[in-house]
Amino acid sequence: MPPVPSSPSRPWRAAVLGVLVALGTAACGGGPDGAGGASRAANPAAIPDNAAILAGVKPDPALKEALPANVKQAGALRLASNIQSAPNNFYSADGKTPIGYEVDLAKAVAAKLGVTVTHQDMAFGSLITSLQSGRVDLTMAAMNDTKARQEQIDFVDYFSSGITIMVRKGNPDGVTGPDTLCGRNVALVQGTSHQKFATEQSGRCTAAGKPAVTVTATDSDTQNQNQLRTGRVAAILNDLPSAVYISRTAGEGKFFEVVPGEPINGGPYGIGVNKQNKPLTEAVQKALAALVNDGTYGRILQAWGVEQGAVKEVRVNGGS
């Protein structure tokens, strides 16, 4: 999908910790790049403590030596993000500490490289230009790695997102995948890639002699959740991180669940690197690959409940 303009983040307050807010309108699932993710945390109990996992990351001296001189001298990577998309990246209860699975992955990559990482919160539309100007070293903000963006920056792919099916707890309608949506009522947000997929799936159903998918398109994911809870629809189509986070937090995890399986029409998120900085791209790729191989990567994603989006191979510019 093309990028959706984003505004600067608005740190959530303790007073709204118990409220699950709407996820946005025009994006594919509410994230800054149509990537999914709630804009604020709904349940502090759903936030994992990955301190022990991160403390176990062993620096690789060879990778540190391969870093650009300015990074080695500073001892830190400057990472830009758009911090408003749980569980990708958002603020903790203090309103100033970034958390999320992307934040933990960034810390782990930095630790493997023998440096630290500092987050800079900025508008999504400013991320690429800030990288190109040298203001930051990396970007990480649920940004889809696409061919168009590869002309501007390089990407180290770290996650695969796509459409995910969310159902009522216990899955009373027996929805197990796209083919079981035939003859079902499905809710989604108007104008998203989810709507396009539902239309295409409905066509596949009728071509196979099965009933069509009945699509309910609304203006917000909150409306869709209400419809699913009351049984007016059998499923919601959303993006992986968003669906997982809602399932874990709404009603303290008692309302919804995610249908297992790989994301539908999935594509990679990428860590952005200046195209002129090949040594940093290579170092980040190797560091992340090492974390995949030793299991650290998988443990971080599992702690946040988004292991369905794990990549098996860390590629550079693997998006299409």
Q: Are strands 185-189 and 214-218 parallel, antiparallel or unpaired?
A: parallel
Q: How many whole angstroms from its chain centre is CA 300?
A: 13
Identify the DSSP state of 47. S
Residues 6 or more apart in contact with residue 291 via CB below 8 angstroms? 57, 105, 108, 109, 112, 297
Handedness of CA 23, 245, 229, 266 (dihedral sign): positive
Q: Which of 88, 77, 107, 90 is nearest to 17 (CA)?
A: 90
Q: Tens of pLDDT along the chain (320 residues)?
A: 333 333 333 333 333 333 333 333 233 434 555 445 555 544 566 789 999 999 999 999 999 999 999 999 999 999 999 998 889 999 998 999 999 999 999 999 999 999 999 999 999 999 999 999 999 999 999 999 999 999 999 999 999 999 999 999 999 999 999 999 999 999 998 888 899 999 999 999 999 999 999 999 998 888 999 999 999 999 999 989 989 989 998 998 999 999 998 889 889 999 999 999 999 999 999 999 999 999 999 999 999 999 999 999 999 999 98
Write down the residue that tokens 């009351």 correspond to.
Answer: 230
Decide if 300 contacts 107 (C-beta within 8 A).
Answer: no
Distance CA 148, CA 15 (A): 41
CA atoms within 13 A on the CB side of 48: 22
Domains of the chain: 14-161+266-309 (3.40.190.10), 163-264 (3.40.190.10)
Could you tell me the pTM of the whole model?
A: 0.79
Decide if 186 contacts 232 (C-beta within 8 A).
Answer: no
Q: Which residue type does 279 have?
A: P
